[in-house]
Structure 1
Amino acid sequence: MHFSHSELEHEIQMFLSEYLKDKSEETCGTYQRALREFQRYYTVAHSWFRFRTQDIEQYKLYLSQYKKLSQVSVSTYLTSIRRLLDYLVAKGKLATNPAKKVKGNRRPTAHTAGTLSEAEAEKLLNVLATEKPQDHRDLITIRLMLECAASEHELVKANVMDFQKSAGGYRLFVQGKGKKSKSEIVEMPAALGQEIERYLLRRENVTQSSPLLASHSRRVSNQRMTTRAMRYRIKHWLEVAGVLRDNITANSLRHTAAKLWLERDKLSLEEIQRKMRHGMISTTQIYAKNQG
């Protein structure tokens, strides 16, 4: 089977509008990026590409060897192709889906981001300040990651209305990865909930729809923080604390939370799975293997 450039572009757009209509913003972005890459590849390969298994294998090599994507990214891009070709088979445009015979790469059995030791985590917390609003926000951000395993993605999307006090303490409703709504809950210690209340009181013009963690720069004051800005600020504090290494990133703080729950607090894998909001216990088991 062969498609012209315009035919393939049309089919991809139809697929995206139909398949992604109920998907999260993050999932939509992932599929759009992956299929744009496939379109670029097809522009060069269209003279010989005929949607055969060997053609998909060749595309997989292109992603890993030429584009140098990680194993996880290659698998994600192949999944997008697999779903697209399923759609084309259902429409009668293809007889079979050749991508089904091309295996993705195995899930990693260890996290690439490192973790902090308990002493390093304490050192980081001890250098944090609250005098300036942006420092106060950073303290809350880092504590939500270290104590509650909140992720960058969850925190940049959080609004004031998502932070609630209940009979059992404080909690934050978050939009998990791949989710379309804020249906998951981050439980937090009372002291951290009270710290968030103090931070919100010092801000001006705060409404329920305001971002929970706001920018405090003059140019975009009270606007939502970006992931990039959040990473920059966390890196700053990791440097100040003297615990920054090549494999330590903002995401390391979430992994550190799981490590401390496992090693220090002796929580079960099932309890850690719940607290980290993992869909599968196999994801949580990676932490246990890392401690091997």
Structure 2
Amino acid sequence: MLVKEKFKEFTEAYLLDADVKLISKLTYERALRQFVDYVDTLSDLPTRSDVMKYRDGLMSKGLEPTTVAFYVGIIKGFYEWIQYNGYGLNITGGIKSPKIAKTFKRSSLSREQSRRLLIHAHALSEKHIINYRNFVIISLMITTGMRTIEVERANKSDLSELDGGHVLYVMGKGKDSKSAVIRLSPLVFGLIESYIMKRSDPYEALFINHKGKHAHNRMVTRNIRYVIKDLLRDINIDDKRFSAHSLRHTTATLSLDEGADTDEAQMLLRHSDPATTKIYLHRKPKTDNFYEYKISDSLLDFFEKEKND
């Protein structure tokens, strides 16, 4: 039977038994670890009321409703497993997840805001390798539309050459392998290359932590989001509509400004469903491709001029 002293062991057994992809299992493990930490603060096994308090606590921390709903879903799955295997009762039946708006509420940055963000991140980049890393991440995400989870999963060995240019192979959302190709502009590839040279370490992750107890560990999505949110606040953009995902939205908007049509924007963002792409679109000009290069050239021209001076 489920007892508080062995609560963590039961979550570990659930993870071993869970029929999910390895990458999902790692996410489940992270979510359950946080719940175990919460349970450790209780005097006894959690009650239904405790689970609801945990849910509300996640919301009060400012997490997105989608993230909280995901975490609650994992906890519900754990307790369903507990009951199915006869270890105890499912105390989570009927517990509601936060309501998720059906409309897309992330705003894209304007071209001027994008340039301000990059110029500010670049100005800080000379202070410490952490700041340089942050500048590289911002440059990469805003010119390619990469998701934070794709940035987290990226390795140095994923960098390659294709058709005479530099690319990064990524594991897209819901995928099992790194089959998606991100085209890197010469400027952005140069920034990544410089960051790797500045690091001069054997670690495989493309972006790592550089201090504290997690030094040398892979940067995770939560940290990437914090970095971007802090830099946005630095340039006086402190609004819930703007987040790390806004950079992806910005890539879509800027690609349209540079002449992309809906199909080309879909390819750039690697959406399997055209309807998803249309969420991002507000206008539709037309021309051909290599929009990663065009966005990079239009936003990072200040950096190119500085290099040539």
Aligned pair partner of 2:76 in 68, 76, 82: 82
**Gaps spanning 5+ residues in structure 2: where?**
283-309
In the TM superposition, residue 148 of structure 1 has moved relative to its aligned partner by 0.5
In 2, Cα distance between the equivalents of 1:284 and 1:179? 18
The count of corresponding residues between Structure 1 and Structure 2 is 271
In 2, Cα distance between the equivalents of 1:59 and 1:151? 33
Structure 2 residue 27 is matched with structure 1 residue 26: yes
1:153-232 aligned within 5 A: 153-167=149-163, 169-176=165-172, 182-197=178-193, 199=194, 202-203=197-198, 205=200, 209-213=203-207, 223=216, 226=219
Report if the CA contact (8 A) 1:78-1:99 is conserved. no
In the TM superposition, residue 89 of structure 1 has moved relative to its aligned partner by 4.6
Structure 2 residue 143 is matched with structure 1 residue 144: no
Deviations 1:48-101 (A, max 9, x none): xxxxxxx5xx56643455664553244223312332244235424579x68565
User: Matched residue of 2:22: which SS?
Assistant: coil
Quote the residue 1:276 is aligned against: 269
Aligned pair partner of 2:53 in 53, 59, 62: 62
1:2-17 aligned within 5 A: 4-6=3-5, 10-17=9-16
Paired AA for residue 249 in structure 2? H
Paired AA for residue 80 in structure 1? I
User: Matched residue of 1:172: which SS?
Assistant: strand
In 1, Cα distance between the equivalents of 2:39 and 2:271? 30
Go from structure 1 to structure 2 and tell me whether the alpha carbon gap of 1:288 and 1:204 turns closer, same or farther (over 3 Å shift).
closer
Structure 2 residue 132 is matched with structure 1 residue 115: no
Deviations 1:182-216 (A, max 9, x none): 4443222344334544x268547466x54434677
Deviates further, 59-68 or 28-37? 59-68
Deviations 1:32-55 (A, max 9, x none): 324654676793665xxxxxxxx5
Go from structure 1 to structure 2 and tell me whether the alpha carbon gap of 1:263 and 1:62 turns closer, same or farther (over 3 Å shift).
farther
Paired AA for residue 143 in structure 1? S
Report if the CA contact (8 A) 2:132-2:195 is conserved. no
In the TM superposition, residue 172 of structure 1 has moved relative to its aligned partner by 1.1
Paired AA for residue 145 in structure 1? M
Paired AA for residue 122 in structure 1? R
**Gaps spanning 5+ residues in structure 1: where?**
47-54
Quote the residue 2:250 is aligned against: 256
User: When the two structures are superposed, what TM-score results if normalisation uses the length of structure 2?
Assistant: 0.62
Report if the CA contact (8 A) 2:2-2:88 is conserved. no
Paired AA for residue 62 in structure 1? K
Go from structure 1 to structure 2 and tell me whether the alpha carbon gap of 1:213 and 1:77 turns closer, same or farther (over 3 Å shift).
closer
